[in-house]
Amino acid sequence: QKKEGFHLPYTKDTIAEALYLIAKNKFHYCSLLRLEATINRYTQTEYALNEIFIGHKKPYKMTRLVVTVHGKTHMIKSSGIVIGTPAGYRAWLKSMGGRKMPLHAQKYQYVIREPYEGRLHQHITRQETLNAHETISINSLTPEAIVVVDSLSKEYAFPLGSSIKIKATHHPLKYICPQK
């Protein structure tokens, strides 16, 4: 096995057991929350199973964003922001100090990456949890910012003046899981 990941639990040695459970009808369907992004009023067709990253296309440069969540607006200065699902907590969000959530929770969170704190700028919060029905809105104050879904998609341009709305999609990832 050459990839490491939470959603890659089976190896060539254990896949037979999973197939046996499916053949014996010893499974049920589970679903995982995914996120969708609307950039400048255009809803992207990719859904994030793990996270959505927003930041400067050169990671060593400062990203300035205006974030609105829970009816409050604040500016962030950092190396970017990661908005992630409970499944995403098991990867990037965990390494950033995100809050642990049950895998099937109907919540998601954001964490500010490497926030800049100085005399003129203090962050109100560095991370926050949202319920599945809530939306986070972000406006770019950075000319060369990007948006990337699950660290695998193409980079979407998110230049100065752009806006993005992120929320839980009505299209969760459905998968087969063993019977309890």
Q: What is the pLDDT along the chain (180 residues), one digit of tens a residue?
A: 455 556 656 677 878 887 888 888 887 778 999 999 999 999 888 999 999 999 999 989 999 999 999 999 999 999 999 999 999 888 888 888 899 999 999 999 999 998 888 777 676 778 899 999 999 999 999 999 999 999 877 899 999 999 999 999 999 988 777 665
DSSP per-residue letters across the chain: -----TT----TTTHHHHHHHHHTT-EEEEEE--EEEEETTEE-S--BSSEEEEEESSTTS-EEEEEEETTEEEEEEESEEEEE-HHHIIIIIHHTTPPP--TT-SEEEEEEES----SS---S-SEEEEETT--EEEEE--TTEEEEETTTSPPEE--TT-EEEEEE-S-PEEEEEE--
Give the tokens for residue 142. Answer: 């950075």
C-alpha–C-alpha distance, residues 149 and 166, integer Å: 11
* Among candidate residues 120, 121, 113, the one with its CA nearest the CA of residue 75: 121
C-alpha–C-alpha distance, residues 162 and 145, integer Å: 9
Q: What's the pTM? A: 0.87
